[in-house]
A = this chain, B = another copy of it.
Amino acid sequence: MASFDILEIESWERFYRANFINSITGFKSVNLIGTVDTAGRTNLGIFSSIVHIGSNPPLIGYINRPIGAAPHTLANIKATGVYTINHIHPSIVQQAHQTSAKYEVGISEFKEVGLTPEFYENIAAPFVKESNIKYALSLQEIIPIKLNNTFLVIGKVISIHIEKDIISEDGFLHLDKVNSICSNGIDAYYTTELIERFKYAKPGIQPKKLY
């Protein structure tokens, strides 16, 4: 084992530290967030900071970088109050990664990277047609994180579009059956393989497999 203390961590070169700290947090959900500005121009960005906040009501958060670093998505969400989150599978991972390039305001990443905006009734924000699992959120709260000028953006799930075959009887979704991917660090993408589902754990009882 190698050990590093805070003095050593803080001494690391900026990009080295960014790669390292973005990796120790572990594999993470990576998704495309679709938005639209008030002029109807679409925007698409890749985010790996989606976090489950609660199921009742269905609340999902993501961390938005400081304003200026990636302004389009958050500006659009503020302006319209609605956005979509779209899973990524291996066939579109190159296009998904390419949305992280710094395009000018008003340029649609959909067109630039080759993905297709798709609209469902009553939702102003664009979904990604190629995505197998996608949902829309209504903005609930933007919580500023003063420690580093980032934001926790929280939305309520208002619409879900999903391959029917992956829905289990108990509501669990077999994400691996439609090849949803996860990410590590800032630039690495992974497929997954199920180890096990376990039953609800109780004190003094050995963990049991669900199937």
Contacts and interface: CB of A to CB of B under 8 A. Distances in A.
A59 B147 contact: yes
B195 A184 contact: no
Given A190-B195, A195-B93, A195-B189, A9 B157 contact: yes
Interface in A31-86: 31, 48-61, 63
B173 A23 contact: yes
Contacts of A170: 15-16, 19
A98 B203 CA distance: 8
A148 B156 CA distance: 11
A73 B200 CA distance: 19
B171 A15 contact: yes
Given A56-B18, A201-B98, A175 B23 contact: yes
Q: Which applies to chain A's interface (DSSP): helix, strand, loop or mixed? A: mixed
Contacts of A164: 1-2
Contacts of A6: 156-159
Contacts of A196: 93, 188-189
A116 interface: no
Contacts of A17: 55-56, 58, 171
A171 B24 contact: no
Contacts of A15: 170-171
A145 B147 contact: no
Interface in A133-162: 133, 135, 140-141, 143, 145-148, 150, 152, 154, 156-162
Contacts of A163: 1-2
11 contacts: A3-B159, A4-B160, A5-B159, A9-B157, A18-B55, A24-B133, A26-B133, A28-B182, A53-B63, A59-B148, A143-B143
Interface of A: 1-6, 9-10, 12, 14-31, 48-61, 63, 87, 90, 93-95, 97-104, 107, 112, 120, 133, 135, 140-141, 143, 145-148, 150, 152, 154, 156-164, 167-168, 170-173, 175-176, 180-182, 184-185, 187-207, 210
